[in-house]
Amino acid sequence: MASLNSYMMEFEAKLNQLTETVEKNRLEALAKISQITDAGMMNSTKQEPSCTIVFCGKSMGNPGPSGAGVLLLVEDGSV
């Protein structure tokens, strides 16, 4: 029975060590992600133009004659 208890204690110690390592790596990854997103937000002061795309298509049968059209509406009036 002593060897089973010894094995369980060793297993628990290794599991705790692994848990600590995973948590440390998780926190480091979150810190890196935060740095990247914060830097990206600070650099994105230029506002990009907005647009709307309207798409429509129709087919007479499948397969059959068909067509499609796209209308790009840009907020600032540019093409």
Q: pTM of the prediction?
A: 0.42
Could you read off the pLDDT of 13-69 as tens digits, one per residue? 888 888 888 888 888 888 888 887 776 665 556 667 678 888 898 988 888 889 999
User: Could you identify the residue written with the tokens 């390592």?
Assistant: 21
- Which residues lie below 8 Å from residue 52, measured CB to CB, with a gap of 6+? 72, 73, 75
The one-character DSSP state at 50 is P
**Residue of 76 and 12 predicted with greater confidence:** 12
Residue 7 is predicted with a pLDDT of 84
Which residue ranges make up each domain of the chain?
2-74
Residue 9 is predicted with a pLDDT of 87
Residue 40 is predicted with a pLDDT of 61
Residue 79 is predicted with a pLDDT of 61
